Structure 1
């Protein structure tokens, strides 16, 4: 590692911040005013026009939930028919992406259909569904990129149930809990030996404090809108942390979850020369989540494509692989795709883990062409913080 790698890694650290204090009452532990007398029970307490929920405004049918089965073993809100909550917070710092992580829980029992949850910012929107077989607990963590905002700009976060054609008494309306905002710098540094940005997946959504299941990232075709910095997502992947999973390098990695359709991730190189040869290396393994089977991952780099296979015993194995390719254009496409459905004995979807993706020219080391301006920027950024 060069001194420039350490400087750039410092830039990555100081440009990322995980915080729940962007939002007031982000875990809903501050109760609504004018609660009914049975508020301490497991029953749902209907919020009406005479009730306020600290930090939040709401419309439609919104209920305050008290249950030991929630992520924080406390309280949450359920968004019933036309139910909506929103809160406006203020951006801090310039050129930062604001990435939301939240817990989604299905509400009700023996429901014939589950309603979806819409999450949006001023210019972003995604719809989330609780799906069986994505978690061994009764809730799931999801992420959503609220977009890039400048210092002092207001960001209005809106969570709303999606009305569906069904009898209301047979509908599982979504329950939301534990919202967390993470800021990530729009421009991340590169390791001087890598032509990819965020090849180690260290920049992504924040992990909820009580979660051991990672964070699900649904399909996002745009690099700009993705919660996984500089990578678009096909299907669904799980963002995993080294505290609860096998992660070969750093603090985070990606687990690909193929279901009824292929899943994977895709990005593009920087500063490649059309017609020049490059080497792509990566680690393929399992996340130590009891995922047993044969992993087959299709890797495409420029115009080259190859399948890589790993026999997983589910205990945290990993192997480095490589692929030589010729750049077909200045920004060569890099993708990892899995087509095989793999499940644990608990019927939870699992799959191949990808980490440490590096692209460099054959016969040489890629150069960032660093300047003293980068060092000055790093020092100024730290001073501002």
Structure 2
């Protein structure tokens, strides 16, 4: 009997170790050569153009892909590469791709630095097989290092081919999106906050944030991103909202918050479970990110038939205030929505869009 139990234990250990060996690790960081600091050999470069589809380490390229350095460029243009020295530029119909091992059934979020390089409208298509989004990047939201975006997908296979593609056809074939860093994060399952019906109300679960430099991460409206990189929340507007972290910005509580940078074109919402005719209290915190965003700010909040406007006179010092809204549920599902009533830019940088910060959203029944 003892021998039988020992053999069972050995067999169980082998099965468990084999299963764990086949699972990919938890991902939260740069993709292999995601910062493009490992460049092609000199023999595979013609000036800045990469020759050969496997010449860029860890990536496969198609079409006109350039390996460039940040800083002033010929013609007076400036390429922002804030997280290193090198980046890639995608010309007409060009793409870069990489196979990534993932866990089927999990949500993953890609975080990447992307910006336009010419005055024309530019689009960046990010995709895995069966899921894609076209990101309009002609609008610059940051002037101090380019913009950073997040895009989420649902893993259905053990290996996904992550592709960044320029679908545009410009008169200048060298125009196209610039990519300077690409990271991936496996999104953990959401847990309810004790005492609150709102999920992820503190925005602690979100996309990867680059550690060495961050202007915030732009979260696109649901028209471009069907799976939200901010679990529990819907970006239901024309403009993105910005995910900011406590290392680079002032946030009210915890590690992260949301900055509403697009005025009435930038809204964030969540649908919560409620009991019809029961009263609830929605509480939240607003303020500024201590990033030079000055002015008279107002955040509007909606729940059921109720609304509240919360003013905040920002001096750009990272000050915050609490607010609340009492409402009566009309059905088993209630949408709570927040947006900024006005447009804002930094006091000394009118090209840098900013806005009020939202954090610590809670909903609880009123007894």
TM-score by length of 2: 0.84
Matched, 1:18 2:25: no
Shift of 1:197: 0.8
Uncovered stretches (5+) of structure 1, i.e. residues with no partner: 1-14, 364-385
1:160 corresponds to which residue?
Answer: 165
8 A contact 1:28–1:177 mirrored in 2 = yes
For the structure 1 residues 133 and 32, does the alpha-carbon distance in structure 2 shift closer, same or farther, using more than 3 Å as the test? closer
CA distance in 2, matches of 1:53, 1:302: 53
CA distance in 2, matches of 1:129, 1:139: 14
RMSD: 2.3
Shift of 1:211: 2.1
CA distance in 1, matches of 2:171, 2:115: 20
Matched, 1:125 2:132: yes
8 A contact 1:258–1:339 mirrored in 2 = no
CA distance in 1, matches of 2:119, 2:223: 31
| 1:115-140 deviation per Cα after TM superposition (whole angstroms, max 9, x unaligned) | 22111122322222434551132411
Shift of 1:50: 6.9
Shift of 1:223: 9.0
CA distance in 1, matches of 2:53, 2:345: 47
Q: How does 1:34-49 map to 2 (within 5 A)?
A: 35=43, 44-49=47-52
CA distance in 1, matches of 2:283, 2:219: 24
Other structure's SS at 1:141 match: strand
For the structure 1 residues 53 and 302, does the alpha-carbon distance in structure 2 shift closer, same or farther, using more than 3 Å as the test? same
TM-score by length of 1: 0.80
Pairs aligned (count): 331
Other structure's SS at 1:35 match: helix
Which of 106, 109, 115 is the equivalent residue of 1:105? Answer: 115
2:175 corresponds to which residue?
Answer: 172
CA distance in 2, matches of 1:221, 1:319: 32
Shift of 1:274: 0.9
Deviates more, 1:97-106 or 1:63-72: 63-72
- Tell which structure's C-alpha radius of gyration is larger: 2
8 A contact 1:223–1:267 mirrored in 2 = no
Shift of 1:114: 4.1
CA distance in 2, matches of 1:16, 1:299: 36
Which of 339, 346, 349 is the equivalent residue of 1:346? Answer: 349
CA distance in 2, matches of 1:146, 1:130: 20
8 A contact 1:123–1:147 mirrored in 2 = no
CA distance in 2, matches of 1:105, 1:221: 20
Shift of 1:148: 3.9
Moved runs in structure 1, 4+ residues, more than 3 A? Answer: 33-36, 129-133, 221-224
